[in-house]
Chains A and B, each alone.
Chain A
Amino acid sequence: MQLSTFLIQLLNGLQYGMLLFLIASGLTLTFGVMGIINLAHGAFFMIGAYLVFQFARIYEWPLPLACASAIVAVVVLGSIVERAVLAPLVDRDHLDQVLVTYGLILIFDELAVVLWGKDVHAAEIPAMLRGSVHISDMIVYPVYRLALAGAGLVCAIGLYLIVAKTRIGMIVRAGSHDRSMVSALGINVGPVFALVFGLGAALAALAGILAAPILSVSPGMGDKIIIIAFVVVVIGGIGSIKGAFVGALLVGLFDSFGKVLFPTVSSLVIYALMALILVWRPNGLFGKAA
């Protein structure tokens, strides 16, 4: 492999990893803290993308306003889903949760079809982020993708600071370790759950907004990415933010190098990685023992 190809693939892997982290972090938080498997997490990703398309392209709102409104709307929607549908399921069997949240996927996908039709839509890259950087004659890289990687990194650092340094973060960490002990200590876990879920929904919506200009905005767009996000969560260890970060980078890098080194089996590479890691560490890289 030439050095230029290696560098580009490295960039690709990091950039894809950052996008995956935004989705996987919300997923791992809701599972770790609330113990809920939320298959519908991908729907927040999709709705974020659709809303920014609606606000920015159809209503022609300024982009920052469109993005902020889309995130707020998804957080509100997420909170309603959490209060009305998921909160009653906290102590239920995982199978019940999977069934209900799978039902939510179908509902949200169908809702997208009703509201926006079956057509494929797209969001434009904002003017200041168009074009590509010519690092050398062989290395040309889209500016927007660098911005995407940057945004992901900023979110990762922010999330790390919240979880590691704040009181809320402490409760979240404790909650993901032993939920019943946290409530026994007199901490009201209800609002913490709502907060964590809202944060997860906001991150998924942000990922949808950031991904909209490179992906297509279409019904079911969340279903494609949620599978890979689950792989990330499993590799990193369920409930661990650090795990989601490392897992996302690993999946991103293996995916982009796999496509060059093993083109015929590239779609299998990340699943093989997951299998190997699970053999070595059954609870994922940073997962707590069962």
Chain B
Amino acid sequence: MTKDITFSRRTFTKAALALCGTAVTTATPLRYALGADPLKIGLILPYSGVYANFGEGITNGFEFALKKRGGQIAGRPVQVIKGDDQLDPKVGSEVAQKIVTRDNVDLVVGTVGSNVLPVLQKICTDNNKPLIVPTAAGNDTTRVQCHPLVFRVSHSNWQMTSPAGAWLFKRGAKRVMTMGMNYATGKEEVIAFSDEFKKAGGEIIDQKWPGLKELDYQAYFADVLAKQPDAMFTFFAGSNAVEFVKQYAQAGLKERVPLFGAAYLTDSTLLAAQGSAADGVITSGHYAPSLDNAANKKFLADFKQATGKDGDINSMHGHDSVEVVALGLEKTKGDIKDSAGLSQALQKVEFASPRGPFRFSRARNPIQNIYAIEAKGGQLRVIETIQKDVEDPTAECKV
């Protein structure tokens, strides 16, 4: 009896599945018959949570770059399917499963959080889909975790701050204190700086790691006054960066211990909120809207005209993600099925990015310039190039 029921249930399920299958296969050609075979891109980003402004900025740049290309890449119309990973690996995994396997996109652009990236990368590479990473900066992505189908458009954490180590020592800082948000990115960025600073001959007198939910940094500042370092090097991002920079200035510390950090500290989206507290803060990074090059001027002017907004680091990342995909696919004539060929084509992409010359390293992380950027009067000014063609170490990448 039981056997009978299971049998009939199974048959029913099979029948239902078969029915669905026919429905899908008959529906697909109808939809596709309307135009050339569309290129389906999954755009998986945090649209809610603390890094929601990153998701929004990247999407603006992404959509602008697509529009600039007439909504087509390598002659194929582009269909974009968006997903909100909420900066949560569990949510990100579900969204990626849906977009990669059910919507069956051709490639994925995502994401921002280094915590979400590993699950996203696994789902994409398991399904043989190229993944273009617009921001998540964990070093491992293009080191031990590197994969022929995973390309990063932004930077590695190491890349952003390590050139600043020797640079700050040369500027005359001998004893430096560091502070960084207590999570993977904060640690990687601050440690990359500290290692190079020590190698150059400097001394790190103290390292502090406030939590992500920290509201009030005042309690850390007494120690800064007592130890009198020559400079303070930091990693803070988002609303934490606004709070830190303001409180540092309010405590009267900025005049006594000059403040340095990774570029996210005074990101152009935060400057208005930081106000005069950010004046004189110097950061190291790969992009600032004031960069003086033709590609950047054109990007900012066209972006402003198309969207009415000012371009920033996030819209630049969104824009460059589309450029990388477009230039790569033009080489394969729009073919996305031959993944080895596609990987090679993407690897060879080279172009004049708004940030300066862009090409990929062997591990598929950009080789790019790192600049010293000073905030003043609500603007970011590039004061000098700290180091040209900075390449994240590729030794750990075996494929």
Chain A residues in contact with chain B, CB under 8 A? Answer: 2, 4-5, 8-9, 12-13, 15-16, 113, 118-122, 124-125, 131-132, 138-142, 144-145, 213-221, 224-225, 227-228, 255-256, 259-260, 263-264, 266-267
Which B residues, 204 to 227, have Cβ-Cβ distances below 8 Å to chain A?
208-211, 213-216, 218-223, 225-226
* Contact of B226 with A5 in the complex, beta carbons under 8 Å: yes
Contact with B270, one of A4, A16, A120, A227 (Cβ below 8 angstroms):
A120
* Contact of A2 with B226 in the complex, beta carbons under 8 Å: yes
* Contact of A140 with B225 in the complex, beta carbons under 8 Å: yes
Q: Note all chain B residues with C-beta closer than 8 A to A124.
A: 275
* Contact of A220 with B50 in the complex, beta carbons under 8 Å: yes
* Contact of A140 with B50 in the complex, beta carbons under 8 Å: no
Q: Note all chain A residues with C-beta closer than 8 A to B49.
A: 220
Binds A, one of B30-38, B236-244, B341-349: B236-244
* Contact of A215 with B243 in the complex, beta carbons under 8 Å: yes
* Contact of A145 with B218 in the complex, beta carbons under 8 Å: yes
- Given A120-B238, A224-B213, A5 contacting B222 (CB threshold 8 A): yes
* Contact of B211 with A140 in the complex, beta carbons under 8 Å: no
* Contact of B243 with A259 in the complex, beta carbons under 8 Å: no
Q: Note all chain B residues with C-beta closer than 8 A to A267.
A: 182, 211, 213-214
How many residue-residue contacts, CB under 8 A, span A and B? 110
Q: Whole-angstrom distance from the CB of B318 to the nearest CB of chain A?
A: 15
Q: Note all chain A residues with C-beta closer than 8 A to B221.
A: 8
* Contact of B53 with A120 in the complex, beta carbons under 8 Å: yes
Q: Whole-angstrom distance from the CB of B247 to the nearest CB of chain A?
A: 6
Chain B, interface size: which category? 35 or more
- Contacts A119-B53, A145-B218 aside, 8 further interface pairs with beta carbons under 8 A come to A5-B222, A15-B218, A118-B52, A121-B273, A131-B252, A132-B250, A145-B250, A215-B243
Q: Note all chain A residues with C-beta closer than 8 A to B213.
A: 224, 227, 267
B115 at the interface (CB under 8 A from A): no
Shortest beta-carbon contacts, A-B, top 5 = A216-B242, A256-B219, A122-B273, A8-B222, A132-B252
Contact with A122, one of B48, B209, B226, B274 (Cβ below 8 angstroms):
B274
A15 vs B250: C-alpha distance when bound (angstroms): 15
* Contact of B247 with A140 in the complex, beta carbons under 8 Å: no
Q: Which residue of A lies closest to B214 (CB)?
A: A267
B246 at the interface (CB under 8 A from A): yes
- Given A12-B222, A120-B238, A217-B273, A113 contacting B52 (CB threshold 8 A): yes
Q: Which residue of A lies closest to B216 (CB)?
A: A16
* Contact of B50 with A144 in the complex, beta carbons under 8 Å: no
Scoring B49, B215, B274 by chain A CB atoms within 10 A of each residue's CB, the highest score goes to: B215
A214 vs B244: C-alpha distance when bound (angstroms): 9
Q: Whole-angstrom distance from the CB of A16 to the nearest CB of chain B?
A: 6
* Contact of B215 with A225 in the complex, beta carbons under 8 Å: yes
* Contact of A216 with B251 in the complex, beta carbons under 8 Å: no
Scoring A118, A139, A220, A264 by chain B CB atoms within 10 A of each residue's CB, the highest score goes to: A118
* Contact of B247 with A214 in the complex, beta carbons under 8 Å: yes
* Contact of A125 with B226 in the complex, beta carbons under 8 Å: no
Q: Whole-angstrom distance from the CB of B206 to the nearest CB of chain A?
A: 9
* Contact of A224 with B226 in the complex, beta carbons under 8 Å: no
* Contact of B52 with A142 in the complex, beta carbons under 8 Å: no
Q: Which residue of B lies closest to A2 (CB)?
A: B226
Q: Note all chain A residues with C-beta closer than 8 A to B247.
A: 214
Indicate with 1 or 0, residue by residue over B26-70, a CB within 8 angstroms of chain A CB atoms.
000000000000000000000011101100100000000000000
* Contact of B273 with A119 in the complex, beta carbons under 8 Å: yes
A266 vs B252: C-alpha distance when bound (angstroms): 24
B269 at the interface (CB under 8 A from A): yes
Chain A to chain B contacts (Cβ below 8 Å), 25 pairs:
A5-B226, A8-B221, A9-B219, A12-B218, A16-B216, A113-B48, A118-B53, A121-B272, A122-B242, A122-B246, A122-B272, A122-B273, A122-B275, A125-B250, A132-B251, A141-B251, A142-B251, A145-B250, A214-B247, A215-B216, A224-B213, A227-B213, A255-B219, A256-B219, A267-B182
A225 vs B226: C-alpha distance when bound (angstroms): 29
Which B residues, 259 to 288, have Cβ-Cβ distances below 8 Å to chain A?
269-270, 272-275
Q: Which residue of B lies closest to A6 (CB)?
A: B222
Q: Whole-angstrom distance from the CB of B269 to the nearest CB of chain A?
A: 6
* Contact of A120 with B222 in the complex, beta carbons under 8 Å: no
A228 vs B275: C-alpha distance when bound (angstroms): 28
* Contact of A120 with B226 in the complex, beta carbons under 8 Å: no
Q: Which residue of B lies closest to A144 (CB)?
A: B250
Q: Which residue of B lies closest to A130 (CB)?
A: B250
Indicate with 1 or 0, residue by residue over B328-365, a CB within 8 angstroms of chain A CB atoms.
00000000000000000000000000000000000000
Q: Whole-angstrom distance from the CB of B11 to the nearest CB of chain A?
A: 42
Contact with A138, one of B52, B56, B225, B274 (Cβ below 8 angstroms):
B225
Q: Which residue of A lies closest to B244 (CB)?
A: A216
A255 vs B210: C-alpha distance when bound (angstroms): 12
A220 vs B275: C-alpha distance when bound (angstroms): 21
Q: Whole-angstrom distance from the CB of A124 to the nearest CB of chain B?
A: 7
* Contact of A120 with B239 in the complex, beta carbons under 8 Å: yes
Scoring A12, A15, A216, A267 by chain B CB atoms within 10 A of each residue's CB, the highest score goes to: A216
Q: Note all chain A residues with C-beta closer than 8 A to B50.
A: 220
* Contact of A120 with B273 in the complex, beta carbons under 8 Å: yes
A5 vs B218: C-alpha distance when bound (angstroms): 12
A213 vs B274: C-alpha distance when bound (angstroms): 10
Q: Which residue of A lies closest to B218 (CB)?
A: A12
Q: Whole-angstrom distance from the CB of B257 to the nearest CB of chain A?
A: 12
Q: Note all chain A residues with C-beta closer than 8 A to B216.
A: 12, 16, 214-215
Q: Whole-angstrom distance from the CB of A245 to the nearest CB of chain B?
A: 19
A120 vs B223: C-alpha distance when bound (angstroms): 28
* Contact of B250 with A142 in the complex, beta carbons under 8 Å: yes
Q: Note all chain B residues with C-beta closer than 8 A to A213.
A: 246
Q: Note all chain A residues with C-beta closer than 8 A to B56.
A: 118
Q: Note all chain A residues with C-beta closer than 8 A to B182.
A: 267
Scoring B214, B222, B270 by chain A CB atoms within 10 A of each residue's CB, the highest score goes to: B222
Q: Note all chain B residues with C-beta closer than 8 A to A5.
A: 222-223, 226
* Contact of A260 with B218 in the complex, beta carbons under 8 Å: no
